[in-house]
């Protein structure tokens, strides 16, 4: 019932506010979450690899039952920034697609003051609040499916995951 599957860096070694970051992946959520078979999907930068509530990150969230603290119960992708457990959620106008892969991209500026979210190369929102930038606000990246009710297995297709850091000063 409460299992999860993840494909992540497995460690928190990155932080915003010193370099440009990009996360990209193509995923397909194969079936909708419902009241009896409930699950959530996270994709992007996050720091807690075994839970849907994150302490630090910038990610896409599918949470049709509103399980994640302060999220909306929506069949659409939500975009989230969170710093020290203070979260900003925005529900996009884009529903998950059970048939086609969706390209999810997150761009974070070098100062760590703005995060742009894209679905299939269309900007679906920008966040300027609750972006983790402190030296102790570290994160990794990946995708995570968390089951929270029911016993029927659920799957998430992942075509690729990509993360890029562009250094703003020579190393």
Beta bridge partners of 74: 63
pLDDT of residue 56: 95
Token reading at 34: 């419902």
The CA-atom distances, in angstroms, between 92 and each of 30, 41, 49, 60 are 19, 15, 24, 10
Share of the chain above pLDDT 90, in %: 68
- Which stretches does DSSP call E strand in the chain? 4-8, 19-29, 38-46, 57-63, 74-83, 86-95, 102-108, 115-119, 122-127, 140-149, 156-167
* CA 121 to mean position of chain CA atoms: 16
**Residue tagged 């970051």 (tokens):** 21
pLDDT for the residue numbered 7: 65
- Rounded-to-integer distance, Cα 145 and Cα 41, Å: 5
Range from 8-12, 133-137, 138-142 carrying the lowest mean pLDDT: 8-12
Is the pTM of the predicted complex or chain greater than 0.85? Answer: yes
Quick one: pLDDT at residue 12? 80
Structural tokens at position 98: 């059970």
**Band (10; pLDDT cuts 50, 70, 90):** low
Q: How far, in Å, CA of 131 to CA of 143, rounded?
A: 19
pLDDT in tens, 85-136: 999 999 999 999 999 999 999 999 999 999 999 999 999 999 999 999 988 9
d(CA 153, CA 121): 30
pLDDT for residue 1 is more than 60: no
pLDDT band per the 50, 70, 90 thresholds, residue 11: confident
For CA atoms 60, 66, 67, 69, the dihedral sign is positive
């Amino acid at each position: 019932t409460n299992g999860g599957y993840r494909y992540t860096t497995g460690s928190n070694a990155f932080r915003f506010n010193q370099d440009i970051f990009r996360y990209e992946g193509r995923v397909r959520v194969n079936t909708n979450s419902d009241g009896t078979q409930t699950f959530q999907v996270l994709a992007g930068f996050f720091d807690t690899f075994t839970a849907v509530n994150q302490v630090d990150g910038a990610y896409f969230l599918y949470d049709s039952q509103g399980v994640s603290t302060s999220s909306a119960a929506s069949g659409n992708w939500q975009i989230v920034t969170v710093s020290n457990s203070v979260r900003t959620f925005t529900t996009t106008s884009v529903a998950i697609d059970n048939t086609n892969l969706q390209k999810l991209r997150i761009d974070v500026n070098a100062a760590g003051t703005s995060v742009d979210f894209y679905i299939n190369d269309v900007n679906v929102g920008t966040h300027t609040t609750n972006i983790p930038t402190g030296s102790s606000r570290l994160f990794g990246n990946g995708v995570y499916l968390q089951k929270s009710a029911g016993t029927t297995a659920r799957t998430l297709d992942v075509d690729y995951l990509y993360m890029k850091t562009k250094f703003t000063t020579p190393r």
